[in-house]
Amino acid sequence: MDRSRTYIRLCAGAQEVQAQWRPAHGDFFVGEERRIQCWVDSVHAGREVRQGFGITRKGDKLISLTPYIWLPRLDQLMELAQVPGRRFESVSQEFYTWAKTDYPIWQQAPSRVFATLEQVWLAFVMQCRQAKVWDGSSWIALT
């Protein structure tokens, strides 16, 4: 599991991916005190996540509002890459074909631009499903 600062920045900027997060037991995220944590149902039962913020309530009162950044695992990124009505194998083949081509802006294979498989799969999801590429500091729309 990639826990690097780079991956955290990539995930934080991928708002379309963040919006799909429905916290589940075993998910990794950056939460309180900017620490990487693992979502544990029994520990995080009193929290909900909305629009990238962890909300803790006690009764009807808001106790805290903390920015949360979901760090999708490789299996979750592969799931995000899927297209309804297409077989997993065809999406995987699409990924492998994409991974051999030059990444826009950088003119290098994605494996040379990104350091880990999580980063490469996130770039695939963002480019092929959201039409955005990483320019080194943010996700920008393809023109």
**CA 32 remoteness from chain centre:** 18
Predicted local distance difference test score (pLDDT) of residue 66: 86
| pTM given for the model | 0.91
DSSP notation for 54-95 = EEEEETTEEEEEEE-EEE--HHHHHHHT--TTS-HHHHHHHH
58 or 76, which is more confident?
76
Distances (CA, A) of 3 to 28, 72, 114, 139: 9, 10, 14, 19
The whole-chain average pLDDT of the chain stands at: 92
Residue 39: pLDDT over 90: yes
Average pLDDT score over residue span 48-69 = 78
Select the highest-mean-pLDDT range: 13-22, 37-46, 54-63: 13-22
